């Protein structure tokens, strides 16, 4: 039998503790429980936001994106594309031309990000599930090109779909080889018309600035020839993305950058992780402050139990045994609070995931309720933080208890 643990448990359950010590112990447990619950909930919300970002961009992001290390475009040829298609795991290859262009509709205009994609784009992209109006097809009736607009672009210019009397006009600076732009608009810009065929709603940045057009249309307007700004690769479900990524890197060499889904939005995901880290540090400090009550309750318990400690020392208990009694007492107080807080935090997160209790409060939000995702690593990290904090606040009273003079207290 572990005697220090037995005595610590008796002290914790004893009804003869002085009222003020009992009150402070209860306050300590409540503080630890509330802090633990809040930490679990907040970390789970950040996990949910991170998953939401991946889900939103996953509708249009490829498994792997190939771009040039230097410059915004690179030349492609049949051999290069065939070599990539033959790599084991590469299920689909989409050519992309993306650049800024001026969009005109009636008397309104705005600068948009025009993305030209080859015909197989929708085979690997799930953007068709984000269509809120019209049709997702970029080519209809044979080879007639159509544009797919972000909802924000459509709203900004009040664009009507399939309006043959008022098509969209896209303008791009003409490549004349000169550093100065001609003052004659007809010579300064290349202009092409296209019908608006559909509207997508993914996330604000894309909705407010992007339009999708067929690759040939973008190639003609931007005068790119055999140059592309990116290649998008789809990886088969039975293959590991990281393994295929390594093979693609090996095939293309150091002149190309190969990015997986997370790396395509590394800044945004890194910002979420940094915010999550600072939130964890902040709540850890709150837990530390809440746990200071454990220090005060243990200090008062040491004073209250001086005679008991003196008797134990006289009976042969070592200072180590005495220290363990009060360290375990602090651990029991923290453990009860932590387990209660973890249970409440997990229950609240489960209820939010299941019943969507807390809504976003906005009609235009991409999700109806706050996204929540629990991870075991967060619960383990929270538990580790509580252990370290408990040891920090309990060690001083435990050391003081071991220094009690037997002769003065018997």
Q: What is the pLDDT of residues 226-248, one digit of tens each?
A: 999 999 999 988 999 999 999 99
- pLDDT score for 290: 86
CA distances 217 to 146, 161, 274, 286, Å, are 9, 18, 41, 58
Which two three-digit tokens encode residue 243? 């393994």
SS3 state at 229: coil
- Measured between alpha carbons, how far is 254 from 69 in angstroms, rounded to an integer? 8
d(CA 384, CA 82): 52
Tokens of 357: 């209790």
> What is the reported pLDDT for 402?
87
State residue 16's pLDDT score: 61
C-alpha 100, offset from chain centre: 28
What per-residue confidence (pLDDT) applies to 17? Answer: 58
Average pLDDT by stretches of 10, the chain with 410 residues: 85 73 88 94 93 81 94 94 95 95 94 94 82 92 90 95 93 70 66 95 89 96 94 92 95 95 90 92 90 90 89 89 92 93 95 90 73 92 92 91 77
Structure token digits, residue 157: 């210019």
> 3-class DSSP state for residue 341?
helix
Query: Which 8-state DSSP code applies to residue 403?
Result: T
- Taking the C-alpha atoms of residue 188 and residue 166, their distance in angstroms, rounded to an integer, is 23
- What is the radius of gyration, based on Cα positions, of the chain? 32
From first CA to last CA, the distance across the chain in angstroms is 27
Residue with tokens 């005679």: 307
How many whole angstroms separate alpha carbon 84 and alpha carbon 251? 8
The per-residue pLDDT for 397 is 92
Provide the token pair at 153. Answer: 């672009």
C-alpha span between 155 and 151 (Å, rounded)? 6
- Centre a 10 Å sphere on the Cβ of residue 238 and count the other Cβ atoms it contains: 7
């Amino acid at each position: 039998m572990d005697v220090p643990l037995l005595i610590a448990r008796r002290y914790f359950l004893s009804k003869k503790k002085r009222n003020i010590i009992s009150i402070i112990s209860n306050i300590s447990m409540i503080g630890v429980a509330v802090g633990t619950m809040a930490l679990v909930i907040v970390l789970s919300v950040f996990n949910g936001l991170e998953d939401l970002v991946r889900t939103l961009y996953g509708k249009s992001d490829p498994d792997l994106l190939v771009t040039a290390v230097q410059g915004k475009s690179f030349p492609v040829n049949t051999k290069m594309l065939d070599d990539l298609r033959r790599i084991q795991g590469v299920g689909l290859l989409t050519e992309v031309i993306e650049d800024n262009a001026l969009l005109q509709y009636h008397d309104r205009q705005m600068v948009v990000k025009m993305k030209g994609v080859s015909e197989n784009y929708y085979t690997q992209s799930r953007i068709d599930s984000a269509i809120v109006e019209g049709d997702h097809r970029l080519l209809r009736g044979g080879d007639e090109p159509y544009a797919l607009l972000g909802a924000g672009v459509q709203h900004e210019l009040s664009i009507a779909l399939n309006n043959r009397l008022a098509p969209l006009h896209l303008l791009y600076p003409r490549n004349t080889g000169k550093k100065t732009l001609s003052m004659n608009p007809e010579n300064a810009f290349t202009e092409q018309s296209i019908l608006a065929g559909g509207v997508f709603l993914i996330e604000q940045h894309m909705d407010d600035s992007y339009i999708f057009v067929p690759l040939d249309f973008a190639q003609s307007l931007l005068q790119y020839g055999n140059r592309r700004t990116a290649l998008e690769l789809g990886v088969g479900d039975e293959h590991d993305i990281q393994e295929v990524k390594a093979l693609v890197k090996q095939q293309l060499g150091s002149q190309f950058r190969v990015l997986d889904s997370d790396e395509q939005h590394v800044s945004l995901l890194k910002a979420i992780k940094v915010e999550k880290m600072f939130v964890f540090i902040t709540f850890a400090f709150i837990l530390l402050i809440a746990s200071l009550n454990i220090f005060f309750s243990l200090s008062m318990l040491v004073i209250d139990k001086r005679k008991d400690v003196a008797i134990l020392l006289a009976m042969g208990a070592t200072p180590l045994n005495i220290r363990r009694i009060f360290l375990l007492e602090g651990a029991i107080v923290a453990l009860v609070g932590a387990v209660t807080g973890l249970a409440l935090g997990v229950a609240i997160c489960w209820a939010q995931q299941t019943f969507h209790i807390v809504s976003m409060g906005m009609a235009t939000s991409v999700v109806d309720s706050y996204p929540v995702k629990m991870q075991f690593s967060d619960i383990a990290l929270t538990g580790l933080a509580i252990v370290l904090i408990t040891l920090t606040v309990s060690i001083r009273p435990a050391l003081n208890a071991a220094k009690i003079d037997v002769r003065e207290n018997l």
